[in-house]
Amino acid sequence: MFHPIAWSLWVVAAAMPAMLTQNPLYLSIICLAAGIVYATVRHTTPLAASWNSFLKLGLTLLAFTVPINALSVHAGRLVLFSLPPSWPLIGGPITVEAIIFGVSKALSLFTLLLIFAVFNCAVDQSRLLRWTPAFLFEAGLITSIALTFVPQMLRNAQEIREAQIIRGHRFRGLRDLLPLFVPLLTGGLERAVQLAESMEARGFGGSLESLSHGREIAVKVATAAGLLGLLGGFFSATYFPDRRALSWLLLLPSIGALLFVFRVQSKRVHRSRYHHDTWQRRDTVLAAVSAGLALTLLLVRAGARSLLTYYPYPPFSPWPSFNLWLGSAFTLLLVPALLSSFHPPRQPLNSLVAGEP
């Protein structure tokens, strides 16, 4: 399919509007687009089965929250009918506004679920992990070792189980988990000792430049100060929304400090690549469209915020407004589905090699 970076950009471009707007018209466009993309990527992985059930859970959530919202919120002018006011909680007028708002809330959560379902089905995790930024390389390394060990772990569990069955051990209750779990953990830790030894033998960490003592202290102080500044900036932005200068004065230097830290840490790592990912023209198209959409959305947010907001209760109109430009911009989220239907994906290189006699 697409390059993991291109997919990540698509997820950002899709999840941002899904979280930032409450307008049910835009939300349904995004939801529909994500649904169509999901339908095209669904077949590529067995993981999709678990996501299908996840999405069903989302649908039941929708089926519950909409009536609850409609029954318990009694604001609004467009009254459908009234329940006797003596009934606790649900007594009172039932309004169209409450139904619409409930639908748009549930729709935004469901759309988010759908977008991440696409991401989980479409992106190859090991390819994604290869793109871990250099300043996170250790965390990425631990994650990829763990991911490669998981199948081995499951096989070990099965072997232990078989050995127990041969000896007539029967599984009766929770207590019988211990004879399974202890050998599993012991075996795993034994393997960790071996792994550590072989990493040492191959000179792991040798290509890592160590920081000088002063620089290390500077990096740590910059990290702590950057985080504190970020926190302060967020607080001042929420508590004193009028004093924009103060918030930016706190936020910009702390973002700068964190970027400095990430840069220093990245420079220490020299990585070589064994496997080269191919970046095709379709990836460029998807990345460009997604980045453009995300940028547009940020601009709309900064300039014409009211285009995105929606609030059905009085004094505002219950009917959502619709901007044709913005609405059609959201249909751009369909690009992955369109591209993969017009150009079937190229055969990956290693499968061609494997096919040769």
Instruction: Please give the residues from 259 up to 298 whose contact with other proteins meets the rule CB under 8 A.
Output: 261-262, 265, 268
Residues in region 62-81 near other proteins by CB under 8 A: 65, 69, 72-75
Min dist CB 339 to other proteins, Å, is 23
54 touching other proteins, by CB under 8 A: yes
Which residues contact residue 23 at a Cβ distance below 8 angstroms, ignoring those fewer than 6 apart?
Answer: 104, 308, 309, 310, 320, 321, 322
Report, in angstroms and rounded to the nearest whole number, the Rg of the chain calculated over CA atoms: 27
Over the window 187 to 216, marking each residue x when it contacts other proteins by CB under 8 A and - when it does not, the resulting string is -xx-xxx-xxx-xx---xx--x-xx----x
Structural tokens at position 142: 């631990």
83 touching other proteins, by CB under 8 A: no
Residues in region 117-136 near other proteins by CB under 8 A: 117, 119-120, 125, 135-136
The whole-angstrom separation of Cα 180 and Cα 177 is 5
Judged by CB under 8 A, the residue of 185, 295, 298, 349 near other proteins is 185
Judged by CB under 8 A, the residue of 149, 160, 280, 334 near other proteins is 149
- Whichever of 138 and 277 has its CB closer to other proteins, that residue is 138
The whole-angstrom separation of Cα 211 and Cα 188 is 33
306 touching other proteins, by CB under 8 A: yes
Nearest to 2 by CA among 275, 279, 341, 273: 279
Nearest to 141 by CA among 128, 129, 152, 149: 129
The whole-angstrom separation of Cα 111 and Cα 29 is 10
- Whichever of 96 and 135 has its CB closer to other proteins, that residue is 135
CB 74 within 8 A of CB 119: no
Min dist CB 239 to other proteins, Å, is 6
Residues in region 321-340 near other proteins by CB under 8 A: none
- Whichever of 189 and 252 has its CB closer to other proteins, that residue is 189
Judged by CB under 8 A, the residue of 84, 86, 150, 273 near other proteins is 150
Judged by CB under 8 A, the residue of 59, 63, 142, 163 near other proteins is 142
Over the window 6 to 45, marking each residue x when it contacts other proteins by CB under 8 A and - when it does not, the resulting string is ---------xx--xx-x-----------------------
Min dist CB 77 to other proteins, Å, is 13
Min dist CB 281 to other proteins, Å, is 27
Residues in region 227-266 near other proteins by CB under 8 A: 227-228, 230-231, 234-235, 238-239, 241, 258, 261-262, 265
The whole-angstrom separation of Cα 37 and Cα 14 is 11
Min dist CB 342 to other proteins, Å, is 28
